[in-house]
Structure 1
Amino acid sequence: MVAIPTTILVSIGIFALAAMSPFEPLAAHLGDNYQSATQAQRDAVTEAYNLDQHWFTAWLSWWGHLLTGDLGWSSTRSQPVADVIAERLPFTLGMAAAALAAATVIAVVVGAVIGMRRGGFLDRAVTALAATLVAVPPFVISLLLVSVLAVSLGLFPTSGARRPGDPYTVDGILSHAVLPFIALTLSMIPWLLLTMRAAVVEAVASDAVRAARARGIGGWALLRGHVAPVSVLPTLALLGTRLPELIAGAAIVETVFGWPGLAQSLVDSAVALDFSLLAALAVGSAVLVLLGSALSDAAAVWIDPRVRMTA
């Protein structure tokens, strides 16, 4: 029930904020011809793209078309919004999903190991490294990877998803995806790992685990049967609440590496006040966050049915 009003509020907020933007949409549409364009040319562009339309009217019009299945026309891409999303969404979803899966697996495994050995050298070293990575923005990680692995060592391509003039191929996409994948994964691991570690430390100190140890249960059996099921729940809950950061991080990484996802389209649509594309991307992101939160809750119930009793 919360999803529908949240989606509506996000959409109206996007239109309102875009209307208050300091960017001049005419400059984006006319490009290099902006300074030399006559008033008649400017008026023609304004009328063609409804740039003088009030944002609330544009919002109502957008919803009216959306309910009929029409996402509108992207003035920045000169093609239907549906085509823009269809072309670029697989790149964004593929990269984000792969990085999220890798970060989750690494964080859960490493967080469980260091949590079970709290205070040891490995725990201190990994915790310090994670705390350091938390403070490093994704674009810094991206630039370092480009500088070291792409420019200095020449191991991977610097940007894009294919060589100029070449068609998209599986090998080309995978080779170009290595660096953005590493950057996005590294940006997500720290907060997942630290959450998992803290949950494991708390679980180890619980009465249930003490009782299990008193019965002679230890090692892998203790971790798998008594510590991990309880400790994973906070990590899953965090996944749902931190999805906006995943989307923001993906946008930054895509921009740095020139990955042909939706990030650049989002930036261009915001600058040019391309309401149709901007609203579709923003509302779509909100829906993905809501869906991710619901899935993380469902996964928590599946792992530990007792959650249903307190829900």
Structure 2
Amino acid sequence: MMKFIFKKIRESILTIIILSFGVFMISHLAPGDPLVSVYGSGVERISSEVREQAIEDLALNKPLMYQYGIWVKNSIKGDLGYSYKYKMPVKDVINTHLPNTVLLIGLCLILTFILSIMFGLVAALNEGKLIDRVITRCTTLLYCIPGFWISLILILVFSVNLRMLPSSGVYDIGKENDILNRISHLILPLTVIVIGHLGYYSNFVRNKVLEELKEDYILLARAKGLSKSQIIVRHPLKKIMPSIIILMSLSFSHLIAGGFVVEYIFSYPGLGQLIFESAKYHDYPLLMGGVMLTGIIVVLASLVSDILSSLIDPRLKERGMN
């Protein structure tokens, strides 16, 4: 088992190294002027001498491999660089945005987990009935609709027309300590992300429960006089719970990706919006810091998923060693 874990850790480290190199090269080779982050719209009015001095100060005139080597060396020491746009260390910029993303993604993960089990169990308990068809078809339909389209519809209905919920930000100005105000800003982004993942997970739970109900041990439980709902809660649900947890961890990257897009649409000041913004303005240090942090989180989630999978099903460990 330890050999399997060490192998997965080596693969994770290699993945992070490849990610850092790829992102660094692609971002630096992409068209655009990184000095826009420094001078804003006034970049076109600066003199050639000031431009050359700024490029030299930022080491943008050095070969890319040299710049990458310096970035790796500093990153190992914990120095992620200085943001061109925010004029402050990258770590400080990320620290102000990361809690918002953790809150949003964490709540989405919890809500998706709970609601998918609830809908899946209700559908399984009423197999073939109207409520089963309504749940499976509605959740599947919502799963197929693009998240950005749902976001725009919700903004149009609840923010523009009804004026019930805010369409941007994490709280209103001067209300950073108002919990209800923060919750109101979370409702629409949460709804979009949960809707985008609920259909897949709830149908997975439903189908897994129905498969378990066909097993021989279920006949014994029925012979003891247990009702269908009692059987599902006591036996199939416990048996498929590890599979649900593994599926959620495997899909963690999709959840983060969906959350980042929603952050950008709702102008939610999280890590996703920060990455989009840094890419737009060619703020290389901030872009690298945000992408690498996200990549490490996703790789760690995948590593945990692989270990959990191997503990539950030893056959997966044998395949991973080949």
Aligned to 2:217: 208
The one-character-per-residue Cα deviations of 1:39-81 (angstroms, maximum 9, x if unpaired) are 2232222222222333332222122112212121111221101
Indicate if the aligned counterparts of 2:147 and 2:192 stay in contact, CA closer than 8 A: yes
Are 1:169 and 2:177 an aligned pair? yes
Q: 1:56 to 1:259 in 2, by over 3 A?
A: same
Aligned to 2:320: none
The one-character-per-residue Cα deviations of 1:85-116 (angstroms, maximum 9, x if unpaired) are 11111001001101110111000111122123
Task: Select 1:79's aligned residue among 83, 88, 95.
Answer: 88
Aligned AA (1:168): E
Q: How far apart are 1:290 and its partner, in Å?
A: 2.7
Matches within 5 A, 1:37-116: 37-116=46-125
Are 1:117 and 2:87 an aligned pair? no
Sequence identity of aligned pairs in percent? Answer: 27
Aligned AA (1:239): M
Q: How far apart are 1:131 and its partner, in Å?
A: 1.4
Aligned to 1:219: 228
Aligned to 1:195: 204
Q: Structure 1: which 5+ runs fail to align?
A: none
The one-character-per-residue Cα deviations of 1:6-28 (angstroms, maximum 9, x if unpaired) are 21121112112213323332344
Matches within 5 A, 1:292-311: 292-296=301-305, 307=313, 311=317
Indicate if the aligned counterparts of 2:37 and 2:283 stay in contact, CA closer than 8 A: no
Task: Select 2:139's aligned residue among 113, 127, 130.
Answer: 130
SS in 1 for 2:45: coil
Aligned AA (2:176): Y
Q: How far apart are 1:167 and its partner, in Å?
A: 5.1
Distance in 2 (CA, whole Å) between partners of 1:59 and 1:205 is 57
Distance in 2 (CA, whole Å) between partners of 1:255 and 1:291 is 24
Q: How far apart are 1:240 and its partner, in Å?
A: 1.7
Aligned AA (2:221): A
Indicate if the aligned counterparts of 1:199 and 1:232 stay in contact, CA closer than 8 A: no
Q: 1:46 to 1:128 in 2, by over 3 A?
A: same
Aligned AA (2:277): D
Indicate if the aligned counterparts of 2:112 and 2:198 stay in contact, CA closer than 8 A: yes
Aligned AA (2:255): L
Are 1:24 and 2:29 an aligned pair? no
Q: Structure 2: which 5+ runs fail to align?
A: 1-8, 318-322
Matches within 5 A, 1:233-252: 233-252=242-261
Distance in 2 (CA, whole Å) between partners of 1:154 and 1:192 is 32
Q: 1:282 to 1:217 in 2, by over 3 A?
A: same
Are 1:286 and 2:313 an aligned pair? no
Indicate if the aligned counterparts of 1:25 and 1:271 stay in contact, CA closer than 8 A: no
Distance in 1 (CA, whole Å) between partners of 2:102 and 2:63 is 33
Runs of 4+ in 1 over 6 A off after TM superposition: 298-301
Indicate if the aligned counterparts of 1:239 and 1:293 stay in contact, CA closer than 8 A: no
Q: How far apart are 1:84 and its partner, in Å?
A: 0.8
Let me know the Cα RMSD of the aligned residues.
2.4
